[in-house]
Amino acid sequence: MSAVFKRLIVPVIISIAALISAIQIKGSLSWGAASFVAIFLVMIVIRTVFEVRIGRAGKASDTLEQVLLVAVFLGMGPIPFLFVATPVFGFADYNLPIAINATAAIIGTLGLVLFYRSHVDLDRQWSVSLAIQEGHTLVDTGVYRLMRHPMYSALFLIVIAQAGLLSNWLAGFAGLATFGALYLLRVGREEALMASNFGEAWQAYAKRTPRLIPLSWGRREP
């Protein structure tokens, strides 16, 4: 566990510093901003624990993927944290009702649960890059029985929560915009890779399993 703690020192310090700065520099810390920081930190903990356990963090497979991953990092990390900690994006502020904040917090919590579960069910076959791991098998159990890409679904819930927790057009929607771009440009390539490796098994799985939303009237087989 010491490796996990070492890797979490920086994000924990940054999170605490952002909260303190919001009070000291901006003069206030909104409930939505504090909730966003908490959700972000839990997401980082989940991913860090998993990466340390399997001994692989993963790397981008090409330049396009690297650019997209950096954009997502900026949209879900530095940009919203700058908004929380400083008035630099004050020109894009607007007001959000507390009901929106509360709903967003629930959505973000559901996203974290799904984010955790999708890592557990995928286990050592997970990679941040588009890659087939040694001994890779097609996972269609757990949350992967309900949807083909639960990790994407989880991150969509988290960036939607970001938009509902941060009352700023730039910081609130930066995560949704950047992750949405990553999803649109990456999911087709990922499914093509799976189809080329698993053939008919993937085709059958894709036919019966929705991509992102586990609709009760969907195409799953018993």
Predicted pLDDT of residue 92: 96
In this prediction the pTM is 0.90
Predicted pLDDT of residue 22: 93
| End-to-end CA separation in angstroms for the chain | 39
Predicted pLDDT of residue 32: 94
Is 218 inside any structural domain? no
- The CATH number given to whatever domain includes residue 156 is 1.20.120.1630
The number of domains in the chain is: 1
Is 76 inside any structural domain? yes
Is 25 inside any structural domain? yes
Is 124 inside any structural domain? yes
| pLDDT digit string, tens, across residues 30-56 | 999 999 999 999 999 999 988 888 765
Which residue segment(s) compose the domain that 67 sits in? 2-208
Residue spans of the chain under pLDDT 50 = 217-222
Amino acid at 79: I
Is 219 inside any structural domain? no
Is 213 inside any structural domain? no
